[in-house]
Amino acid sequence: MLIAVGLLMLLAPGAVWTVKESWKSNDGTEPSDLYILSTRMGGGIFLLIGIAGIVVSWL
């Protein structure tokens, strides 16, 4: 699950913003550059933790 969410956050931060945050914005046009960067960083962390979980479960 973490791998899927991480990939989504890495590859499509705009889609994550549309689902989670667009209703909070007055104009609701697009996410900021900082939001895209932080979402991608979080996605990378989720992806790494998901992969680490799989590796640890095999040990």
Instruction: Quote the pTM value.
Output: 0.84
Q: 30: pLDDT confidence band, cut at 50, 70 and 90?
A: confident
Confidence bin at 27 (pLDDT 50/70/90): confident
Q: What percent of the chain has pLDDT over 90?
A: 73
Q: Provide the residue range defining the domain that includes 23.
A: 2-58
pLDDT at residue 57 tops 80:
yes
Answer whether residue 3 shows pLDDT above 90.
yes
Per the structure, the count of domains in the chain is 1
Report d(CA 41, CA 25) in Å as an integer.
Answer: 22
How many C-beta neighbours within 10 Å does residue 32 have?
Answer: 11
Query: What was the pLDDT predicted at 10?
Result: 96
